[in-house]
Amino acid sequence: MLDIIKNEIRLICKKERTVGYTLAEMLMVMLIVSLMILALPPVTKKIYKERTTRGAHGRFECYRNAANQIVQASSMEGGITNAPEVVDKCTFKVPTTSIYVLIHAVGGGGGGAYVTQNPTDTSTTYTATDYYGNSAPHLFSDWVKELREKRGYQFPNNTTENMSNTAVVTVNVAEMMFGYGGLQGERISMFFSKLDSSQKIEMIPGEAGFAGTSTTDYKGKDGTDTVVNFIEEEKDEASGAVTTTTIELIRAKGGMGGGVAGAAKTWLYGGAPSDYGLADISARKRQNVNFIENIEGKVDTTLKSYIVEDGIQPGDGGGGAYSFISNTASTLTYTIEGVSVSNLLSFDTYLSKNPTANSDCVKSGNAHICNKRTGDYTCVDGQEESGLLCKPQNGGTGAVVILW
């Protein structure tokens, strides 16, 4: 019996040794793992270096110059540039080192409208009649508020049977002209995470809309579309013939030209010509696209922009024309129920239009005499002055900017 038990113990020990690892085997495994760990740093360093190494970024620009010629130019990091050259159409081939490609396009801006009547340096006497009572004082004109709040004036008619007080103001009024501004061109952007280096891109920037030129030809012209095409070329191996296919990728529409002209009447309170003009009418203002700034925020010298260097404003809608008046002299009278109240009023209500009214205006009998001052008028937004008119502007050229 004892022999049987010893034999069983031998078999169990033998079996356990066959399914386990020897010390030599364990040491060999640990050696191999240690060698692998020692080999990892150079490999990880190489991977990190490859991931952070990139190709140089660049910029390609396609636009129209002042002579309406199509121009293309490019720049790359490191100060590598290709100066603007006049071409029939812009062509761009994707660099082999590009990681991504961004295409930004804007259509040509519409031109501003001229005016339908030539402005004159004259004014006419205007009579304004209104009715006041003690109700709704917040709706009173500024001069009536001054009478009531600062001078203690009481309306003559102030009974339940009759609360209507007739107020009459006479003043010199000038009629000034303006034209509507053109609309900005459409902006379209496309992002490509990768394009084949053989991909050819063709561009035709839209033309700027020209401004109106006269009272008979006052409407601004529309800007035209900017078009970006992919050019696909396929070669027949048998014949060697190359088939070219044009695929329209982007069409950024041009802005409409200003098509309306109008007039506005302005009360005169004396002062300088710079106090009077229709520059602030929103419908005639230039529409700024800020095309380059909206792409990059701030343009620096890392990637040179010839559009910025040449002062070109792609896609802008041109400002409409507007007039001003130089002869700002005016005579103002105020009566309530036929009684003059001019001598009770100061010139404070004129200060919003004529900042120096307190020195330009004097009280004379039952009237305020407000004199003109000499001075020049400066047109806003770089518009050209011609007589009493700030002339309308052409729209901005269409353009394409490609970044990679």
Distance CA 336, CA 166 (A): 6
Query: Three-state SS for 292?
Result: helix
pLDDT tens digits along 269-294: 999 998 899 999 999 999 999 998 88
Is pLDDT of 49 > 70? no
pLDDT tens digits along 129-138: 999 998 888 8
Q: Please, what sign has the CA dihedral across residues 143, 146, 151, 156?
A: positive
Average pLDDT over the chain reads: 89
pLDDT tens digits along 353-371: 999 999 999 999 999 999 9
Return the half-sphere exposure (C-beta side, CA atoms, 13 A cut-off) of residue 29. Answer: 6
For residue 374, the model assigns a pLDDT of: 85
For residue 198, the model assigns a pLDDT of: 80
Is pLDDT of 335 > 90? yes
307 in Cβ contact with 314 (< 8 Å): yes
How many other CB atoms are there within 10 angstroms of residue 113's CB atom?
A: 29
Distance CA 71, CA 60 (A): 11
Reduced DSSP (H G I as helix, E B as strand, rest coil) percent helix, strand, coil of the chain, to 5:
20, 30, 45
Tell me what the mean pLDDT of segment 317-334 comes to: 96
Contacting residues for 183 by C-beta, under 8 A, at least 6 apart: 109, 110, 255, 256, 257, 287, 317
Is pLDDT of 204 > 80? yes
Domains of the chain, by residue range, sit at 2-52, 58-404
Tokens of 60: 């390609």
Considering only CA atoms, which of 372, 401, 396, 398 is closest in space to residue 382?
396
56 in Cβ contact with 76 (< 8 Å): yes
Contacting residues for 161 by C-beta, under 8 A, at least 6 apart: none
Return the half-sphere exposure (C-beta side, CA atoms, 13 A cut-off) of residue 251. Answer: 5
- In eight-state DSSP terms, residue 207 is P
